[in-house]
Structure 1
């Protein structure tokens, strides 16, 4: 009878098996090499089949180690995929991943959850290569059912999924703070839903393919009167705008967009013809002014804006009346401007002119405006002791007129000071926010033109042509030292010299006036009458749905305020036109 070694050697030669046998069958522990060198098994055998714990080595580094049942990989095991390097640890059935298991890939992806014959199905947790994590239902290797997805960029979605896409009701929280709560279809917002954008924009309503069904496309100026807005000099005004969709309807379902306001003044067209009769150059976005000979600075760039009204405009400032300054104005208007002690000139013996005289009106002024003096001794008195009306001297009349002029001058200075304080309290316009599709800019103000830039003007630059006192004294000494024969000149020469001196005197006076104008520029009280353009631009940051509305241009005309007579005539004409319209209807 052959020994066990001889039997093993015979089995090893014939069947390529080395191990335990029973009744000429592989039974117990043994190593089996298949005809296909790609496979090899090491483990438990039972009556000639793999059964129990074993290790099936698969070529190119792959293998399975775990439970075998009647020759099949079944039960709990550990699988290494040779080509990809992925690993799986979990339940198997008929050689497939089935049941609960953990699959890890070299790319960083991993799935831990339920498997059905090699596919992710049921509840599980999936982590993608970028770091995103999904926890919820799966079907056929895809997200399906209720689930929560945390994306790699920080976005988060809680809701329903259909075949790996957001579908049904869900709540999306974006990493920037935007929140959408509503219906989804095909991975985009579709159906009823509401959004709260990080910029402050809110919308509640119907969505179609990821966009609001009532989405604004442009701005519209709300004007109850004519298209061109007329504003009187020195008066604030308001602008009302609304967001409209492609059908011209107001998008009342949206709120929160922000808009800023700017202004420009219509550019004057030069009527002078060029000497070379050149054709005009095309309009540019910016125009550089000429460099002054006395200015060391570079050329000043003046922005030029193309308007839809057929002309270009130069950028101009626009301001807003602050609420604090408005309250201060109300307080100043309620207070008496002539508060304080007043002096009644009526009781003054110096200004007592008798009844019926035109100068006998009551004149009041502040004690700080005029200083009372004792009556002059030259003034004659009548029998009652009062001053005679016909002997109201010129000095007293001058005093009264001077007091009146001082009062008027002080009032004008107060008004001028108040205007300057008002201009200094104006602020840059605050952005306006849309509410239910509408926005308003209140208390806007077109300021006076800015003062000219005199930073480059110096005393030396404005007095180059003036004659210095030293030169003047030298010329006088030279003429004094000359002999009478040298000083005497013919009549024609003397007249020519006098004309030249008169001309030089006029030119020096003109230079002094120009110097005074440049060094002490006059500040305009109101904006100049003319045509202005108000530009309203959206500044929602960040833009809502990656887009902003186009700019709105509103034409504005600054006019000189009408007098009381003109206003009364306008009212009369309007009332007459109304009466005519009523008579026609009746």
Structure 2
């Protein structure tokens, strides 16, 4: 009997019917049905090491439905057998954990089946040579899922990976990593569509760049627009990236440098603003300053005329602008003017936050507002004395010299203007993508912004 091995018998087997056969080496023992002197029908074959087979026999061979247990591994199989080997549909239980249900050929996984491994991952699909091969779907224990091509237990070809955090990759794979053309839609809302090499994007963004001159100039009280690019290391626009969330903020130069005539200098109330000055790559520090968005999509007729350096006529419903403090119109002892425009903080998708589109973003109608509470400006610097006609011995008034809204002579002063003072400011663009896209937050970009008085010479 091929299924039972060789060796002389202790007793002759029965020709037909039910009987027991014990071999002389005592390694095999068969108990079950016989026909023509061979195991045939239902029976159980026991091995000395504790292994066994129980099920159907045909002419002395293990063939048909049955259950096999291997004592040396602790694995067991229930299903179809052919000539002593698991073949056809069956279920394999693994002592180390996991199970397989599906097609087998000569004891190996072959064809379609479902494998649950010891870690709880579930694969449903094609097998070849005991490995995942062909089309298949894998669900990992952390909730990630992959649906696509496999080659020798590796993801290779085209496939879709859906991560538990909501991120999705669609494209080519090689040796279990992104490789070739593919698109990653990140849970943050960012997207990279392009070439991948060994699991990494071939043309990722590495920096944020604010376009324009090294020092931008804007007329006092006028809105301005920022154009931003994501760039690669080689300076090319990272057109493969979209959806990164960028925000813009402003700062004002923190240190007074008398050599510059247009520097705004503020004494800051440390109790109201306990912030630490921000280091910039521009050679000076800055402290935060309010940034607003003009509610109109662009400057009105007055703003456009003023930006061009001309004189605007008052229009109905448009309040008079604040006079330019310290300009060459003569001495100015008051802080002038009611608010000249209505603006709102730039927050949300239509304000300071912008999604990148093919490596580019734009922040329109930005506006520097008045100093916040706790920022006390010194309006006249030493370099402006000649502009306003002050003699070296005369001291120009400051905000601190006019507390309570009155001059030293007792006359009332006007409200602070609803706009920034001429001076040196900083615009910053930040990568707010959360969680970080491709595992990296891009460094903040800085742009030097100079606010000049209305009508000031270029």
Determine if the TM-score, normalized by the shorter chain, exceeds 0.5.
Answer: yes
| Contact 1:530 1:558 (8 Å CA) reproduced | yes
Which residue does 2:237 correspond to in 1? 250
Distance in 1 between residues matched to 2:120 and 2:280, nearest whole Å: 51
1:235 and 2:222 correspond: yes
Which residue does 1:310 correspond to in 2? 283
Distance 1:540 1:113, change over 3 A: same
Q: What do residues 220-253 of structure 1 show as CA deviations (whole Å, max 9, x unaligned)?
A: 1211xx3111122111111111111122111223
Distance 1:203 1:325, change over 3 A: closer
When the two chains are superposed, the root-mean-square deviation of aligned CA atoms in Å is: 3.8
Aligned residues: 389
Which residue does 1:547 correspond to in 2? 440
Distance in 1 between residues matched to 2:290 and 2:124, nearest whole Å: 57
Aligned partner of residue 276 in structure 2, secondary structure: strand
Q: What do residues 467-494 of structure 1 show as CA deviations (whole Å, max 9, x unaligned)?
A: xxxxxxxxxxxxxxxxxxxxxxxxxxxx
Match among 363, 367, 371 for residue 445 of structure 1: 367
Which residue does 1:535 correspond to in 2? 428
Which residue does 2:452 correspond to in 1? 559
1:122 and 2:111 correspond: yes
Q: What do residues 396-438 of structure 1 show as CA deviations (whole Å, max 9, x unaligned)?
A: xxxxxxxxxxxxxxxx99x94443x625x44444301111211
1:71 offset after TM fit, Å?
Answer: 3.9
After superposing the two structures, state which structure 1 stretch, 158-167 or 209-218, moved more. Answer: 209-218
Which residue does 2:47 correspond to in 1? 58
Distance 1:303 1:512, change over 3 A: closer
Which residue does 1:431 correspond to in 2? 353
Distance in 1 between residues matched to 2:197 and 2:404, nearest whole Å: 69
Aligned partner of residue 342 in structure 2, secondary structure: helix
Distance 1:180 1:51, change over 3 A: same
1:263 and 2:256 correspond: no
1:177 and 2:166 correspond: yes
| Contact 1:322 1:427 (8 Å CA) reproduced | no
Which residue does 1:113 correspond to in 2? 102
Distance 1:263 1:335, change over 3 A: closer
Aligned partner of residue 548 in structure 1, secondary structure: coil
Q: What do residues 135-164 of structure 1 show as CA deviations (whole Å, max 9, x unaligned)?
A: 221111111012222333333322211001
Structure with higher helix content: 1
Q: TM-score under structure 1 normalisation?
A: 0.58
1:199 offset after TM fit, Å?
Answer: 2.5
Match among 86, 89, 98 for residue 87 of structure 2: 98
Q: What do residues 41-94 of structure 1 show as CA deviations (whole Å, max 9, x unaligned)?
A: 222345554443211223565421012344442322112333554331112233
Aligned partner of residue 46 in structure 2, secondary structure: strand
After superposing the two structures, state which structure 1 stretch, 184-193 or 42-51, moved more. Answer: 42-51
Distance 1:452 1:244, change over 3 A: closer
Distance in 2 between residues matched to 1:447 and 1:521, nearest whole Å: 17
Distance 1:323 1:153, change over 3 A: farther
1:326 offset after TM fit, Å?
Answer: 8.0
After superposing the two structures, state which structure 1 stretch, 193-202 or 537-546, moved more. Answer: 193-202
Match among 197, 205, 210 for residue 186 of structure 2: 197
Which residue does 1:349 correspond to in 2? none
| Contact 1:59 1:82 (8 Å CA) reproduced | no
Aligned partner of residue 141 in structure 2, secondary structure: coil
Distance in 1 between residues matched to 2:124 and 2:430, nearest whole Å: 44
1:165 offset after TM fit, Å?
Answer: 1.0
Which residue does 2:141 correspond to in 1? 152
After superposing the two structures, state which structure 1 stretch, 155-164 or 63-72, moved more. Answer: 63-72
Distance in 2 between residues matched to 1:132 and 1:106, nearest whole Å: 16
Match among 79, 86, 89 for residue 78 of structure 2: 89
Which residue does 1:422 correspond to in 2? 342
Aligned partner of residue 303 in structure 1, secondary structure: coil
Distance in 2 between residues matched to 1:256 and 1:81, nearest whole Å: 56
| Contact 1:317 1:447 (8 Å CA) reproduced | yes
Distance in 2 between residues matched to 1:86 and 1:209, nearest whole Å: 37
Distance in 2 between residues matched to 1:549 and 1:213, nearest whole Å: 17
Q: What do residues 508-540 of structure 1 show as CA deviations (whole Å, max 9, x unaligned)?
A: xxx99756679x995344323322221111112
Distance 1:95 1:119, change over 3 A: same
Which residue does 1:507 correspond to in 2? none
Distance in 1 between residues matched to 2:315 and 2:285, nearest whole Å: 45
| Contact 1:325 1:422 (8 Å CA) reproduced | no
1:270 offset after TM fit, Å?
Answer: 8.9
Q: TM-score under structure 2 normalisation?
A: 0.73
Q: How does 1:515-534 map to 2 (within 5 A)?
A: 523-534=416-427
Distance in 2 between residues matched to 1:427 and 1:416, nearest whole Å: 24
Distance in 2 between residues matched to 1:544 and 1:336, nearest whole Å: 49
1:202 offset after TM fit, Å?
Answer: 2.8
| Contact 1:303 1:315 (8 Å CA) reproduced | no
